[in-house]
Structure 1
Amino acid sequence: MQETSHSSARPSAVACLPCRSRHLKCDARMPVCTRCQTTGTECLYVRSKRGLRKHTRNENQSLSGNACIDWLDATALPPDLAIDADSLFQPINPFLPDDTLAVSETVNPGVAYDPMIQLYYQNFHPSHPVVIPRKDLNSSLCYLIPPYLLSIMRYIGAHYYPDPPLKQTFRHAAYSSLSDPTLRDGFQVQALLLLAIVDHSHCHEQNAHRLIQTAVNLALEIGLHHPSFASEHSYGHSVLEESWRRTYWELYVVDGLLSAMREQSPFRLYHHVAKVQLPCAEKMYNSASILPTEQTLDDLQNNWTPGQDISSFAHRINAVQNLGTVLALNRSLERSPESHIETIDAHITSSLMSLPPLHGDGYDSSTHDEMIFQAQMILYLALIYLHHPQSNMRFASFHTHHPPSTSCTRLTNTPKETTLTTTHTLDLDLDLHSHKLIRAADLLSSLATLPSTIRSRSPFFTCALGICIIVHTAALLVVQGSGREESLKARIQLGIGALRALGRIWPLSRVVRQQMVDMYLEVGRG
C-alpha cells in the first residue's frame, strides 16, 4: 500500500539518486524526498545543468576551475531549488502530546523531519557525532532535548542550504542559551561545543577559544569526565548514555584541534585524567544497538597494540592524543633529542598503519567513515607539526608582511637560521625532516580527492588544507629544476579548489582560500 501511494504521486522532473537507481517515481522534496524519508535512505541529488548561464571570469582558472569544484562537491543541492517556506519557520518544539510518544518511523512527528535538522544530520553530524542520532528524535528521547540545542542544530543545518542568507534567520535563537547562566548540564556542554566549532568556522577565533574553554570548565565542574556521569544522567536510555560519553570525547578532540591551530591555547584535556569509556562503533550508535566498550584512554595509552579492535571514534581520539604529544614537545623549553622525535614519529606512523579502511567492510566509493577520515587528517597534521620545527625548510616572509587573518594556517618559526623568502630561491639540500614534512602534506592533501562530497567534511579540514598549501608553496621554492614543480603546483591547485568547495559552507574556508591564493601569486611574482 505504501508503494501505491508513492506511485500515484505527481511525477517530478527531478529525481534523487536512490529513486532514480530503482526506477521509482520521486516527489523531489528537498532536502529529502518522501520515499527516502520513509525508508531512512540517504537522499542525494545531482546538480542540474539546466538554465545555467556561462560566466566569464577574470579569476586565474588554474587555481580554481568550476569543473574541479563541481566534481569535489558533486552532491551539492541545486541553488534554484527551494524548501517549502512553511516548513522552514515552524517553531521547534519537541514536547509533543503524550499520545505521540510511540510514533512510527514512517510518520512525521515534527522535529526529526524539520528541514534544517535533516541537513544537520546529513552533513554535519557524521563529522561530529555528539547529539543523539536522528532516529531517536522520533522517540520519547525527544522530550529530553532542550529547544535551544535544537536551535543550534537548525542553525548549523542552515549552512548547508543553497540560500546562504537563510542561516542568519536561525542565528539569534542558536546563541540565546549563552545568556542564561542557569544552564549547567551536559546539554549545555554540547551547545557550547557546537557553537565553538561554528565560531571557529566563521573566523571568530577569540569567541571559539572562549566557548571551548567554558565548555571544558563546565564539563569538569559537572563531572562529565567521570565514568558514572553517563549512566546517572541517561534516564535509562542507552543512546543518551553513549551521547554523554561522546560529548566528553568530542570535547577532547575539538580542544586538541583548536589548541594546535591556535598556538597560544593550551590543550587542557590532554593533561587531565579521565576514566570515561571510549565511544562505541558508529553503526551501533546510529542504530541504537549500543554495546558500551570497556576501553578507556588509559588503555589507548598503555595497553593498546596496533591491530587491536577499537571503534573508529577511538582511532580519532588516539590521533588527537598523538597530536597532543607533538604539541607538548614543541611547547617545551628544553631541546628534545633526535631519538625522542624519532620515537614520536614511529608512534604516529604506527597509528596510521593501524587505521581500518576508510570505506569500512564493503567498498563504496560514494561514502566513507568520517571518523577514520579525521583520524588520518589529524595524524598527518601531527607529522607536519612534528617535522616542521626540525626541518631546514621555512616560509616566513609571507606571514611577516601579510599577517594571516586566521591563526589556523600559521606554522611557528624556530631558531634555525635558514629562512625561505618570497623574493629569491635558496639552493638547499632538503634534510630528512623536510622530506617527511612534504610527504605528510602530500598525503593530507590527497584526502581532498576522495569521491564523496567535500561539503560534508569537518570544518577543521579548512585549516588542514591551508597548512598543506603553505608547505607545498615553501617546497616549490627549493625544488626548482628537480622535476617536482608540476606535482607541487597540482597539489596547491587541489587545495585551493577544495577550499573553494568548503567556502560555499564556511566563511573561514573563503578567507583561508584568498590568503593562500595571495601567497601563491606572490611567490610566483618573486
Structure 2
Amino acid sequence: MASRSPTELLTSLGPDVPNQPPHSTPMSSTSGNGDSRTPPNTVQAACLACRGKHLKCDGNTPCGRCQIHETECIYVASRRGYKGPRRNPPNPGKRPASDSPPSANGDTCSLIASVTRPMATAPSVSTFNPAVVVAESPATPFTASGVNGLQLYRSQYLNGGGALVGPDTQPQQTIPERCLNSFYYYFYPGHPSVLPKEHLLKMAKEKDLAHLLAAMRWVGSLYIDVGPARATYFEEAMRLVYAQDVVRDGYLVQAMVILLIGLDGSCQQEKAREILSHVERIAIEIGLYTRAFATLHGGGVPRVEESWRRTWWDLFVVDGMVAGVHRQTNFLLFDIVADNIPRPMYLEDFDDQVFSGEEREFSSFAYRVASIRNLGRMMRLPNNGFPSEENVSRIESLLSNWRMHLPPTKIDSLNKDCQLDEMMFQAHMINHACSIILHQPLSQLDSSPARDVTACAPHRAVQSGDNFNIHTRHIIKAACEISKMVTYNVPITSHTHFFTCVLTLSSIVHLSKWALYFIHDEDDLRQQVRLNIGALNKLSNVWKAANTASGQVRGVAQEIYRAKKAQQTNPQFWVGFTQEEIISSMAADEGIMSEINTMLTSAP
C-alpha cells in the first residue's frame, strides 16, 4: 500500500480536535552561536559540550555557550593523536596537536546508532549530568536499552548502605514529588521519551509544562497509594491538555501520549482511542516526524533533540500496539514517512544491514521500532481478517528475519549483566504477539473455549481441525515464548502495560489447546497457564485492564477444568494411558485448580 501524505492523513482523521486553538507558532529555537562581532578567542582546549558539537569555545569557565544552554561546563585534556609517552623530548618549535577530538556524536541518533567507537573518542553525556546514564552510545542523551534502564534509573535511589530505596519510601517527600518519582521509577523505562527529571524540572521554570507534569504525576500515582490526589491529577491533566490556550507542541504530544497509555491500562479504552486520534493529528500538524522539528525545537541541545525524536517513535509504537492488541484502530501513523533519524544512520540502513556488509549493532530502541513496523506491514495485508497463505508467508519472513538477524546481545531481553533491557523486552513481546495475530486465523486450534476472554479485544472465532498445521505450531510456540518472558527476575509492573494484552493473547492459545483433548505434555501447558495468571494478577495491582483479563482467564480455566473432570468419569477417556499417567494427570489438575482458586480469592 502506497504511503499517504500527511495532508491526506489529516483529512482522514475528520474534524479538528475539539476545544483546541489554531496551530500555534512553534517554539523559537535558541541559537548556539556567540556574538559574531566579537573575534573568537584562541584557547588551549574546548569544553566537552562545545567539543562534542564541533563548535568554537571561548575558553571561559563556564563558557558562553554553556551559560546560554545551562549545561555543566567541563574541560578535560585532549588525547587526540596521543600514542603513548615519547622517548625523545618534544620539539619546542613544533605546533601542538589539536585539542578538539573528532566527535562520536555528530548527527548520530541514539535511536538507531550503535556503539562501535571507544569511550575515549567523545565525552559521555553523563559527564555533563551524572544523573543521565548512557547505555549503548557514548553520546546518547537518554538511558538507552542496551543496559537496564529501569535498574539504572533505580540506582539513583540507592542510599548510603546500598539498599534500594523506592520513590514511595524516600523521606520528606510531598505527594507531587512522590508521584513524579514514581513515574520515572516505574513508567519511564518502558516509554523513555520525556526529558530526564532534572532537565525537565529546569525546563519547567522557563516554559509552562503544567499539563505534562500533571499527566506524569497521574500515571505515577497509579503505582503508589496517594489517596484522592490521583483523581485530582487526572482532572487537572485533562483540563490542561484541552485548554483553549494550550500550545500545540511536542510537550502537548508527550502529555497526551502518557494520558492515553494510562487510560488504556485503566480500562478506559474508548477515551484512550479518542486522545490517540487527537494526538495523531497534532503530531502530524506540527511535523514531529520530520528531521527539522528536532533541530528547530531542540535549541541546539542534543538531549532535547533526542527527546523530540523519541516522542515521535514512542507515539508510533503506542499507536501500533493499540491497533494490534485491541483491533479497533488501523495504525494510522504507519503510513507516515518519517525522516527524523539524522545522518549518518537511517532506518533504511537498519533494513539493509545484511546486504551492506557492515557489522553493526543498533540500539534496542531501533529493534523495538523495527518490530512494530512489522506489525504495521501485517495490518496492511489485504483481507486482514483471513489472509492468504502467500501473504502470511511474506509477513512470517519478516518476523523470522527480525529474530534471526539479532546480534548476540539482543537475542533475549537481558543484557550481558543479566539486567532487563525493557526496549528489547517490548521488541520481543511485539514480535511474538504479531506471530499469534498473523497465524491464528489459519490455525486449526478451536478458540471457542476462550471466547469469554475479551478484556483486550473481541473474540476471534477459529475453526478446529483434525491436525496441528504449521500455523497452529507458530501460535503455540509464540504463546510459550510470551509465558517464558514472565520468568525474568524483575518486577512484572516494571513492564509496559501493553504486556497485559500480550499475556492475554498467549492465554487464549494455551486455554484453547488445554480444552482440546488430553495430551502427554499437559503438565507443561498447565504451568504456562499458571505463569500467565500469576503475571496478570501482579499487573492488576496497577492496571485495571489486567484485573479484568486475569478474572476472565481464571474463569475460563475453571470451566475447562470442570469439563475435563466430567470427561474423566468416562472410562473411554483413559484408553491407552497407564495407571501412573492417569493418577499423575488427576493430581496435576487438582494442583493447578487449587492455585487458581487461591489466586481468585487473593486478587485485588
Q: Same fold (TM over 0.5)?
A: yes
- Cα 1:165–1:409 shift into 2, 3 Å: farther
Does the 8 Å contact 2:257/2:279 carry over to 1? yes
Residue 154 of structure 1 aligns with which residue?
217
SS in 1 for 2:460: coil
SS in 2 for 1:394: coil
- Cα 1:475–1:398 shift into 2, 3 Å: closer
Q: Does 1:388 align with 2:502?
A: no
Residue 185 of structure 2 aligns with which residue?
122
Q: Which runs of 5+ in 1 are unaligned?
A: 1-38, 46-74, 90-113, 278-291, 420-425
Q: Does 1:88 align with 2:175?
A: yes
Residue 103 of structure 1 aligns with which residue?
none
Residue 343 of structure 1 aligns with which residue?
394
SS in 1 for 2:340: coil
Does the 8 Å contact 1:462/1:509 carry over to 2? yes
SS in 2 for 1:143: coil
Alpha-carbon displacement from aligned partner over 1:235-271 (angstroms, at most 9, x marks no partner):
2221111111111111110110001122231111112
Note the C-alpha offset of 1:221. Answer: 0.7
Residue 515 of structure 2 aligns with which residue?
477
Does the 8 Å contact 1:256/1:320 carry over to 2? yes
Does the 8 Å contact 2:453/2:459 carry over to 1? no
SS in 2 for 1:388: helix
Q: Does 1:186 align with 2:250?
A: yes
Alpha-carbon displacement from aligned partner over 1:129-185 (angstroms, at most 9, x marks no partner):
110122423645753461110111111111121456652342222222233144211
TM (norm. structure 2) is: 0.62
Note the C-alpha offset of 1:327. Answer: 1.9
Note the C-alpha offset of 1:465. Answer: 0.6
Does the 8 Å contact 2:327/2:457 carry over to 1? no
Worse overlay, 341-350 or 371-380: 341-350
Does the 8 Å contact 2:210/2:240 carry over to 1? no
Does the 8 Å contact 1:330/1:386 carry over to 2? no
Note the C-alpha offset of 1:301. Answer: 4.5
SS in 2 for 1:125: helix
Look up the equivalent residue of 1:213 and give its one-letter code: S
Look up the equivalent residue of 1:196 and give its one-letter code: L
Residue 495 of structure 2 aligns with which residue?
457
Residue 314 of structure 1 aligns with which residue?
366
Does the 8 Å contact 2:295/2:305 carry over to 1? yes
Residue 202 of structure 1 aligns with which residue?
266
Q: Distance in 2 between matches of 1:309 and 1:462?
A: 30
SS in 1 for 2:254: helix
Q: Distance in 2 between matches of 1:394 and 1:224?
A: 44
Q: Does 1:441 align with 2:479?
A: yes
Residue 261 of structure 1 aligns with which residue?
325
- Cα 1:173–1:223 shift into 2, 3 Å: same
Look up the equivalent residue of 1:314 and give its one-letter code: A
- Cα 1:44–1:389 shift into 2, 3 Å: farther
Residue 41 of structure 1 aligns with which residue?
155
2:344 to 284, 294, 297: 294
Q: Does 1:222 align with 2:286?
A: yes
Note the C-alpha offset of 1:294. Answer: 3.4
RMSD of aligned Cα (Å): 2.8
Note the C-alpha offset of 1:316. Answer: 0.3
Does the 8 Å contact 1:76/1:455 carry over to 2? no
Look up the equivalent residue of 2:546 and give its one-letter code: S
Q: Distance in 2 between matches of 1:145 and 1:348?
A: 43
- Cα 1:353–1:165 shift into 2, 3 Å: farther
Worse overlay, 299-308 or 470-479: 299-308
Q: How does 1:51-70 map to 2 (within 5 A)?
A: none
- Cα 1:130–1:436 shift into 2, 3 Å: same
Q: Does 1:168 align with 2:231?
A: yes
- Cα 1:487–1:333 shift into 2, 3 Å: closer
2:315 to 240, 243, 251: 251
Note the C-alpha offset of 1:413. Answer: 3.0
- Cα 1:394–1:505 shift into 2, 3 Å: same
Note the C-alpha offset of 1:448. Answer: 0.8
SS in 1 for 2:525: helix
Note the C-alpha offset of 1:500. Answer: 0.9
- Cα 1:361–1:470 shift into 2, 3 Å: closer
Look up the equivalent residue of 1:215 and give its one-letter code: V
TM (norm. structure 1) is: 0.70
Q: Does 1:370 align with 2:408?
A: no
Q: Distance in 1 between matches of 2:383 and 2:224?
A: 41
Residue 554 of structure 2 aligns with which residue?
517
Does the 8 Å contact 1:441/1:472 carry over to 2? yes
Look up the equivalent residue of 1:161 and give its one-letter code: I
Does the 8 Å contact 1:390/1:433 carry over to 2? yes
Note the C-alpha offset of 1:302. Answer: 5.2
Does the 8 Å contact 2:154/2:166 carry over to 1? no
Q: Distance in 2 between matches of 1:117 and 1:335?
A: 45
Does the 8 Å contact 2:325/2:502 carry over to 1? no
- Cα 1:296–1:453 shift into 2, 3 Å: same
Residue 501 of structure 1 aligns with which residue?
538
Alpha-carbon displacement from aligned partner over 1:286-341 (angstroms, at most 9, x marks no partner):
xxxxxx663334444456669642211110000001111222227448852x3442
SS in 2 for 1:123: helix
Does the 8 Å contact 1:130/1:190 carry over to 2? yes
Q: Distance in 2 between matches of 1:138 and 1:455?
A: 25
Does the 8 Å contact 2:157/2:166 carry over to 1? no
Look up the equivalent residue of 1:505 and give its one-letter code: V
- Cα 1:432–1:195 shift into 2, 3 Å: same
Look up the equivalent residue of 2:174 and give its one-letter code: S
Q: Distance in 1 between matches of 2:170 and 2:471?
A: 51
Q: Distance in 1 between matches of 2:481 and 2:289?
A: 34
Q: Distance in 2 between matches of 1:168 and 1:118?
A: 18
Q: Distance in 2 between matches of 1:525 and 1:76?
A: 45
Residue 23 of structure 2 aligns with which residue?
none
Does the 8 Å contact 2:289/2:312 carry over to 1? yes
